[in-house]
Amino acid sequence: MNKKFIAMACLAAAVAISPSCKKDFLNEKNPNAIEVGASYKTPNDVLLAVNGIYQSLRSGNNVGETSDLWTDQRSDDTGTQDNQSNAGEPFQFGDFSILPSNTYLKSHWVSMFGTISRANSVLSNIDKVPFADNNQKLQYAAEAKFLRAFIYFDIVRTWGDVPLVTKQLLNSDEVAAVTFREKQENVYKQIVADLTDVITNSPLPNLQAPTGRASKAAANFLLGQAYLTMATTLDQANRTANLNNAKTYLMAAYNMRAFGALNTIPYTDVFDVAKKTTCPELIFQIVNIQGDQTYYSSIAGNFQAKGETVNSKKVSTGVGYNVTHDLINEYETGDPRMDFSVKYANDPIVKDWFVTKFRDASDKAGINGYGGNDWILMRYADVILSLAEVNNYLGDAATAIGFLDQVRTRAGMPTYAVSMTNSDYATKYPTLKLAILHERRVELAFEHHRWFDLTRTFTTDELVAYFKAKKQTDFGLAKLSNFGTKDRYFPIPFDETKLDPVKMYQNPGY
């Protein structure tokens, strides 16, 4: 109140008496406002800013463990049988009835571009800071570039053409200059540029050290995934070149592994809270702290259905995290991954399948469900199945099958050749392409990859046909009849399109 009175008095005095007071007043800066650039003075300031980029990933509005609304619920893996959930904005995602005005969608957009902004802030200001160790500077810049590429890869696959921002924006004119949708090809060029620089010019370790930070294995894997996606979704004139690049970088990631055959790592070890810092299959994850009220994992407890105790000591009163019967039908008879990943809850109010893949029933997690599960963003089974995919597209079926069999053997399942003698398997997956897609589905279930696997494997028309061929009774309350070509991408949030309806044009069908 005193500050307000003084300011008003100065203004009054300026008008009545003193031109100099008026000039000084109008040129005043807010004493409580600190320019972002002024925060970068020491290497530790840069480290804190880089940590802030990592921290932003944790949110469910971003790519954290509770970000399933934009991923699994949009796919054919999870859904809801709870009639009370059959309403409101969240249900629009799984029901394929999402509107551009959906506030959850806008929160996702804002969070993702918030991460981009944090990365740009580091990269725009790091040269102002004196570093005694230049390798330290290069490491922080590489982490920022890796995280920017990581998020842009999600963004471009989710919305298609999007604004491409690669520097800190300082004023409204700079914001206006980038408020337009850049073509996907150019977004991918930036992803490739960032990751190539990380791989060739940075001192990052081959494997994460410490846990939860960027590495060259993660950068190679991400770049391989980007090239694979470009090959299958962009201009087909560049398909072969993109596939060969994908193979190069995926193999680079694969060769950095710290183990021999995948079957030396039990499947359950990947999700064992006690082994999350030592399991060599893990490449990149969001780290959670068991028992910590701020940085705990909630999925073990929240995924558990009423009457169950397999996930957590937390008592559940609801249905947990539902699984579509379409996914249940996908598991082959005797696949131990099914027994580990899902369970049928027989409580009178549930009587349905729920997710058990993420567990922490420890005393330290306790009855509040403060679990210690890290949220896995990259692991080697994904690299191996990506190599199966790219080799198959390149016409090398033998090599593709070899990679596919690594995952099947680790799971205790028959090899691909033996499985193809089973009429049920051969009927469901008549091509190697579909067999790889199937393996990805059961191996990586609930890890938020399924939707992107579908959009990479099928054209838009093929994707619509794929969903339309499913049984509504296996799909929960979501209406398959709503699924159409529009669902290839999310709509651009309404608040963004209204800024400039021409440059921020809406995706088709919305």
Residue 473 lies in a domain: no
Crossing angle for the helix pair 184-201 and 216-233, to the nearest 10 degrees: 150
Residue 463 lies in a domain: no
DSSP H helices, 429-486, are 432-443, 450-457, 460-468
Residue where one domain finishes, among candidates 372, 396, 420: 372
**Same structural domain, 65 and 140:** yes
H or E stretch at 285: strand 282-286
Residue 472 lies in a domain: no
d(CA 329, CA 433): 19
| Total structural domains within the chain | 3
Residue 96 lies in a domain: yes
**Same structural domain, 187 and 141:** yes
Contact yes or no for 198/144 (Cβ under 8 A): no
**Same structural domain, 380 and 443:** yes
Residue 27 lies in a domain: no
Residue where one domain finishes, among candidates 321, 348, 372: 372
Residue where one domain finishes, among candidates 352, 372, 392: 372
**SS3 state of residue 96:** coil
What are residue 286's phi and psi, to 5 degrees?
Answer: -90, 120
What are residue 257's phi and psi, to 5 degrees?
Answer: -60, 155
**Same structural domain, 194 and 209:** no
**Same structural domain, 272 and 316:** no
d(CA 99, CA 91): 11
H or E stretch at 343: strand 342-345
Closest CA relative to residue 257, chosen from 302, 301, 208, 213: 208
d(CA 223, CA 227): 6
d(CA 428, CA 424): 6
**Same structural domain, 99 and 194:** yes
Residue 470 lies in a domain: no
Contact yes or no for 175/160 (Cβ under 8 A): no
Q: What sign has the CA pseudo-torsion 104, 109, 110, 111?
A: positive
The residue range of the domain holding 115 is: 34-200+483-510
Give, as one character, the DSSP assignment of residue 35. Answer: -
**SS3 state of residue 182:** strand
* CATH number for the domain harbouring residue 233: 1.25.40.390
**Same structural domain, 113 and 42:** yes
Contact yes or no for 96/110 (Cβ under 8 A): no
Please, which residues have CB within 8 angstroms of residue 149's CB and are 6 or more apart in sequence? 190, 191, 194, 195, 198, 219, 222, 223, 226
Token couple for 297: 């994992």
**Same structural domain, 148 and 161:** yes
Please, which residues have CB within 8 angstroms of residue 101's CB and are 6 or more apart in sequence? 493, 494
Please, which residues have CB within 8 angstroms of residue 33's CB and are 6 or more apart in sequence? none
Q: What sign has the CA pseudo-torsion 182, 165, 248, 254?
A: negative
d(CA 467, CA 461): 10
Residue 12 lies in a domain: no
End-to-end Cα separation, the chain, in angstroms? 48
**Same structural domain, 276 and 380:** yes
**Same structural domain, 191 and 301:** no
**Same structural domain, 271 and 380:** yes
Please, which residues have CB within 8 angstroms of residue 269's CB and are 6 or more apart in sequence? 275, 279, 281
Q: What sign has the CA pseudo-torsion 368, 373, 377, 382?
A: negative
Residue 475 lies in a domain: no
Regions of the chain with pLDDT less than 50: 1-27, 84-86
Q: Tens digits of per-residue pLDDT, 446-505? A: 999 999 999 999 999 999 999 999 999 998 888 999 999 999 999 999 999 999 999 999
Q: Which pTM does this prediction carry?
A: 0.92
Integer-rounded Cα Rg, in Å, for the chain is 25
Contact yes or no for 210/287 (Cβ under 8 A): no
**Same structural domain, 98 and 46:** yes
